Amino acid sequence: MSSTAPLPEPLLELRGINKSFGAVHVLHDVDFAVYPGQVTALVGDNGAGKSTLVKTIAGIHAAESGQRYFDGRPVQIDGPRDASALGIEVVYQDLALCDNLDIVENMFLGREELKGVVLDEHTMEARARQTLASLSVRTVKSVRQSVSSLSGGQRQTVAIAKSVLWNSKVVLLDEPTAALGVAQTKQVLELVRRLADQGLGVVLISHNMVDVFEVADRITALYLGRVAADVAAADVTHSQVVELITAGRSGDLGLTSTTTIA
């Protein structure tokens, strides 16, 4: 997307989010937005606040202050069920898949379809196939494969497909390519792009700048719990983003010296 194109209304918007753990102030007045049809890369060094921000969005952590908006209206997210009900899904780095179950059983785990008092296997299998097909996933031979038999890239694909099975609007992906080889990384990044192309708002949390510039429309850089910059990917270079991550500033872009020490 061109950096000069006007931004659509955000699907998810956070304004002035603050979060502390005891005496440690982790998030400082964070503003963050996720747009439909776009991939927003959330980048930052270890300890910058990325995981805390994601868990605040997901309802795992409660913010001390700030407002959250979804589809333009203010919302209260008091737990993961509230986030899921809005259409927010998170795919964490550990994927939360059960090796002893097949793909269908994993995709519907905890949300099984019933026919009377028994599992509606036919409906679940059909929906699993439909979801994978809608994402143009061709690397999985059968939806009845055990997850233990899948490669790392296939597991990531299943976890992502599971997240969009429930009419989600915003999907947050935590380091989805961290443990993958080159070919599998390419497959997952193509899937990430397809999610956005279908109108979802996608957040990609990653340390890999090559991956970020491959798929991201926007980049939000965190530095010591503050937003150093929120920019179109086309408007910054790899080296500028690295400077924002490591120093909170790159040339005229980023935090001022008084902000970073406040």
Q: Could you read off the pLDDT of 1-19 as tens digits, one per residue?
A: 445 567 889 999 999 999 9
Q: Are 10 and 34 in contact (CB under 8 A)?
A: yes
219 CA to centre of own chain: 13
Out of 92-96, 154-158, 248-252, least confident range:
92-96
Residue with tokens 């028994």: 118
Instruction: Tell me, yes or no, whether 13 lies in a domain.
Output: no
pLDDT of residue 167: 82
**What is the extent of the structural domain holding 205?**
30-261
Instruction: Tell me, yes or no, whether 3 lies in a domain.
Output: no
144 CA to centre of own chain: 27
Q: Does the pLDDT at position 258 exceed 70?
A: no
Instruction: Tell me, yes or no, whether 85 lies in a domain.
Output: yes
Q: How far apart are CA 57 and CA 199, in angstroms?
A: 19
Q: What is the pLDDT of residues 59-118, one digit of tens each?
A: 999 999 999 999 999 999 999 999 999 999 999 888 889 999 999 999 999 899 999 999
> How many distinct structural domains can be found in the chain?
1
The domain that holds 113 is classified in CATH as 3.40.50.300
Q: Is the pTM of this model over 0.85?
A: yes
Q: Does the pLDDT at position 46 exceed 80?
A: yes
Higher-confidence residue of 196 and 258: namely 196
* φ/ψ of residue 204, rounded to 5: -110, 110
Instruction: Tell me, yes or no, whether 8 lies in a domain.
Output: no
Instruction: Tell me, yes or no, whether 22 lies in a domain.
Output: no
Instruction: Tell me, yes or no, whether 150 lies in a domain.
Output: yes
Name which of 70, 85, 94, 75 is nearest 13 in CA terms.
70
The distance in angstroms from the start CA to the end CA of the chain is: 35
Element at 85 (helix H, strand E):
helix 80-86
Instruction: Tell me, yes or no, whether 25 lies in a domain.
Output: no
A 10 A CB-CB count for 232 gives 17
Instruction: Tell me, yes or no, whether 24 lies in a domain.
Output: no
